Amino acid sequence: MKKAISYLVTLLMLVIIGIAANNGQEDSVEKTIYVGPCIVDCIGVAPQKCMLVKDKPDDQWSLFYDLIKGFQYDEGYIYELRVKEEMVNTSGADRTTINWTLMEIINKTEAQCATLENTTWVLKYYGDINNPRSVLSDTEITAFFNSSDNMVSGSAGCNRYSASYAINDSRMNISLPATTLMMCPEPIMEQEQEYLISLIATQGYIILGDQLFILYGPGLALNYAPRSEVETVSVQLENETESVQPENVSEPIVNLGTSNETTIISISGGETEVGAAEITHENTTWSLKSYGEQNNQRPLLKGAKITALFNSTDSIVSGSSGCNRYFAKYDIINSKLSISTPARTRMMCGKLVMRQEAEYLSALEYADSFTILGNELQLSYGPDRTLNYIALPSEMTENVSSLPMNVDSMPSY
């Protein structure tokens, strides 16, 4: 009897050991993971740095609080790794229940970390982070945060919008947007209204790899991805190829010539002098110094400031018109420059300032060509009539984050 009991106990122990061994095998698997190009701030028990990881190329990035054993990480690359995954039992908010050991680096691709500013962001989802809603399939909502003038602009689905923004660490405030007044089907208008209200309620932002989350309430976020496909046009300059990235530009005509060892580019009837500084009409803040007939130019009113910034990313020109902020769509088509009717805020200033503003916005709408000579820009808007600007140094670009953007009504285009 004792021998039988001893035999059963031994057999039971062997069964338990076998089960444990099988469980160990099930808890250790090999898999493929992807590691993002940036290390980001995260908080476990205390603030720390985390890697971005995902299981599939199309998945969203998630935070990984631990290290991958045997893996030497370099920022600026997306890695495809084969790892051994083991389940571990640990405690602490900054410890995962997964332990990864590097088996093989399958692929290492150079990639840039996305930045909030000067990137065109396309909205993918919005609302509850755990149960987000997709943007309507027949609409595109975008946001471009321009570091030159602290303005965010883009498409709200039906209308164009523009607003000032201010950033303090990871906190962000966005003013009441100015918009055009086009009408679209009701579902699109409802989505647009909700989007603009969400922007106004913005409290902060987080960038995870190539995803931007704008936080506008407890558990609420606007989830963007960078625009991946940008049309490129190659321009030959003195045996070197320079890549420019226009958007919404149909067949731009570029003619090249030389004059006294300086390359002249004629675009839309204008000339660009390309020297050491290589100032271009786009992505430069221009300050108006005079306007009107070429032989009888009128200076600006004392203390007035009128500016223009042609943004090549979204083909929007924006700035100060003396009293209000404005923005308008521009195109270069068949060698012609065209600017839509500007949308603007509805602030009131002195009579002379308002008259000058009206003259400027009207002239801008009729502009049909431009010329750049050195650091000066000239827009032609009628027979022998020009708007004459001078380029502002980058350190002198205006900060308008505190300007109000309240609007009563906006012209459509």
Q: Does the global pTM surpass 0.75?
A: no
Same fold, 120-226 and 240-396: yes
Q: What is the pLDDT of residues 60-80, one digit of tens each?
A: 777 787 889 999 998 888 899
pLDDT band at 396 (very low <50, low <70, confident <90, very high): low
So what's the pLDDT on residue 350? 84
3-state SS, residue 25: helix
Distance of CA 174 to the CA centre of its chain: 15
Check: CB of residue 363 under 8 Å from CB of residue 340. no
Q: What pLDDT does 279 receive?
A: 60
Question: Higher-confidence residue: 220 or 170?
Answer: 220
Q: What is the pLDDT of residues 93-114, one digit of tens each?
A: 445 477 899 999 999 988 877 7
Residue 119: pLDDT band (50, 70, 90) is: confident
Model pLDDT for residues 125-166, shown as the tens digit of each residue = 999 888 899 999 889 999 999 988 889 999 999 999 999 999
Separation in Å, CA 274 to CA 151, 260, 337: 28, 12, 20
Q: Tell which CATH classification among 3.40.50.720, 1.20.210.10, 2.40.128.270, 3.40.50.300 matches the domain 240-396.
A: 2.40.128.270
pLDDT in tens, 36-60: 888 777 766 677 788 888 888 877 7
Contact (Cβ atoms closer than 8 angstroms) between residue 142 and residue 192: no
Q: Do 199 and 163 contact (CB within 8 A), yes or no?
A: yes
**Topology (CATH level 3) of domain 120-226:** Lipocalin (2.40.128)
Write down the domain spans for the chain: 2-110, 120-226, 240-396
CA distances from 316 to 66, 153, 244, 327 (A): 44, 8, 16, 7
